[in-house]
Amino acid sequence: MSTSNQSLENKLEALQCHFTWNLYPGSRSLTVIQHILEDIATDEGNVWLGHIYNLQGFIQYKLGSSEEALNIFRRATKIFQHLKNSDEGPWLMVNFGNLAWLHHLMGEDEKTQDYLSKVEALMRKYPGPPEEEPHPEVCAEKAWTLIKFDKEKKLQAAELFQRAVRMQPDNVEWETSWAILSADPFKAYIKDMTPDLFEKVKSATERDPDNLYVAALYLEARAAKGEQIQDEAKDLAEKILEKPMHDYCGIGRVMKLYRKYISVDEAIKIADEALKRHPDSRFVKRSAAKCYTKKVFSQRGNPDPRATDKAIRLWREVIEVYPECSPKEKISLADVHTKVDIEKADQIYRELLDREDLDPAEKQMLYCRYAKHLQFIKKDYCSSTTYHMMAAEIQKESKYKEKSVKQLKKTLKINKDPEIQRRIREDPEIQRRITEFLTSLGINHYINIDTEKGNDM
C-alpha cells in the first residue's frame, strides 16, 4: 500500500461514523433492523429523521446496494439541512463521514477526499469541549444508532446520551431519549423504577411535552405507584390517536398502561379505534394483538370466541408483515391457540424448536415459555422441568432465566401444590436432579421464592 493510500485509510479509520462504529447485527439481522427503522415515523417533524436515513444508508450498503446507500446518505444530508434550517453544522459530521467511506469503497477517492475535507472543516468550526470526544452531536447519533442496531449495547448508548446532554443540556430531545433509554430495564417491572429515574422521566415529560411516548411512560410509572391516572390516560390516548402511528408515538405504551392498570376492555376500545384509523399499521396490529391476548387470558372459563378469533387473526397478520420476526410473536399465537386448538399450538411450538437460526436469548425465551406450556396445558411435568433446565443453563441473565430458576426452586420446596406433589411421586428422583442441576450452576436452591412478577404481556 502506498503512503498516500495509507494516509487516506488512516483518515477514514479516524472518522466517527457508521463505518467505524463496529456495528454488527448481533441477534438482529439487517432486514430486522430495516423493519425497526420502518416502524419509526419518517415525517418531516421527526428530529431523528436524518439519523434514520444515515442508518438506512449503511444497512443498504451492507446488503450490497452501494448506489441505493449513496442516494439515502444524500437524502440524509438534505434532511439535516432542512431540519436545522442551515447548510452546515456539526450534525453533518457523521453523514459526511459515511459519504467519505462509501465513495472510498466504491473506488471514488477523489470524492472521498472532498468529504474528508468537509469533515475536517466542520471539526475546526464546531469543536467539541476539549475534554470531551467526540462532539455531542456525534455522541447523540451514535447513541441513537446503537439502540437500534445492537440491543446489547444499550448501556453504552445511555452513557453516550448522558455525555451529550452534559455537554449540551438545552437539547430536550437528547434528555428525553436518555430518560427513555434509562427506563428500559424497568419496562417489564416498572414499579421497581428508582426514585432518581422516576424524577428523570418526570423532568423529560415536563421539558418535552410533545413527546407522547415519554408521557405514557411517566403515567405508567405513576400508576404503578398507585396513583389514579384514568382521566390523564384518557386525554393522552386521544392525543396519541391523532398522531401518525409508529414505534415511539406512545400507542403501545398507553395500551399497556390501560390493560395493566385501568381496564383490558378499555384497552381494546383504544386498540379498535387505532385499527380503524390506521388499518395498515403493522405496529398498531401488534399492539392490538397484545390487548386481545390479554383479554383472552383474563377471562375465566371459556373466553369470548370473538376475542380469541381476533387475537389469532391479528397475530397471524403481524407475523405475515414481519417475516423475520422474533419467536415471541409466534409463541403468543401458540398460546392463544391453546384456548381453541391445542394441537395447533403444539405444532407452532415444535416448528420453533426445530429452528436453527435462534440466538441464545431467543432459545432461552422459547424454552421457558414452552416449559410453561408443557406444565399448564399438557400437564407434562417431567418434560416441563427439562425445558426449564435448558432455559436456566443458557448463560444470559433475563426474566426468562429468572422464571425458569424460580419454577425449579418451587418444585424443591415443601408446599401444598397437589400437582407438584403428584409430579414428585411420579418421579421421586426429580428433586435430586434439580438440586444437582442448580448446584452445578452455582445457584443457591434454598433461597426463598418470591411471588413471580408480572407476565409477558
The model's pTM: 0.87
Measured CA to CA, the distance from residue 219 to residue 202 in angstroms comes to 9
Say how many CA atoms lie within 13 Å of 242 toward its Cβ.
Answer: 8
pLDDT of amino acid 357: 83
SS3 letters across 45-68:
CCCCHHHHHHHHHHHHHHCCCHHH
Domain 3-126 has CATH 1.25.40.10: yes
| pLDDT tens, per residue, the chain with 457 residues | 556 677 899 999 999 999 999 988 755 578 878 888 888 866 666 889 999 999 999 999 999 999 999 999 999 999 999 999 999 999 999 999 999 999 999 999 999 999 999 999 999 999 887 766 789 999 999 999 998 876 678 889 999 999 999 999 999 999 999 999 999 888 878 989 999 999 999 999 999 999 999 999 999 999 999 999 999 999 999 999 998 888 889 999 999 999 999 999 999 999 999 999 999 888 899 999 999 999 999 987 778 899 999 999 999 999 998 877 779 999 999 999 999 999 999 999 999 999 988 888 899 999 999 999 999 999 888 899 999 999 999 988 888 999 999 998 888 775 556 766 666 666 667 777 888 888 888 887 654 544 444 445 5
Q: Which residue has the cell 403515567?
A: 219
Q: Which helix (H) or strand (E) covers residue 344, if one does?
A: helix 342-353
pLDDT of amino acid 239: 96
Chain centroid, CA 343 distance in Å = 31
What DSSP character marks residue 451?
Answer: P
Contact at 8 Å (CB) between 48 and 40?
A: yes
SS3 letters across 148-206:
HHCHHHHHHHHHHHHHHHHHCCCCHHHHHHHHHHHHHHHCCCHHHCCHHHHHHHHHHHH
**Which one, of 328, 450, 437, lies nearest residue 390 by Cα?**
437
Q: From residue 360, give the alpha-carbon distance in Å to each of 1, 68, 283, 390, 393.
A: 41, 33, 26, 11, 10
Task: Please report, for the chain, how many H helices and E strands are present, in that order.
Answer: 23, 0
Measured CA to CA, the distance from residue 330 to residue 430 in angstroms comes to 31
pLDDT of amino acid 415: 54
Architecture in CATH for domain 334-457: Alpha Horseshoe (1.25)
Q: Return the CATH superfamily for domain 211-325.
A: Tetratricopeptide repeat domain (1.25.40.10)
Measured CA to CA, the distance from residue 157 to residue 159 in angstroms comes to 5
In three-state secondary structure terms, 342 is helix
Measured CA to CA, the distance from residue 311 to residue 295 in angstroms comes to 9
User: Judging by beta carbons within 10 Å of its beta carbon (0-12, 13-18, 19+), is residue 387 exposed, middle or buried?
Assistant: buried
Q: Which residue has the cell 410473536?
A: 329
- Residue 336, Cβ neighbours under 10 Å: how many? 26
pLDDT of amino acid 32: 79
Question: Could you give the residue ranges of the DSSP H alpha helices within 22-108?
Answer: 30-38, 49-62, 66-84, 93-105
Residue intervals of the chain classified under CATH 1.25.40.10 are: 3-126, 211-325, 334-457
Contact at 8 Å (CB) between 292 and 286?
A: no
- Residue 446, Cβ neighbours under 10 Å: how many? 10
The DSSP code sequence of 195-263 is: HHHHHHHHHHHHH-TT-HHHHHHHHHHHHHTT---HHHHHHHHHHHHTSPP-TTSSHHHHHHHHHHHT-
pLDDT of amino acid 351: 96
Residues 6+ apart with CB under 8 A from 81: 87, 88, 92
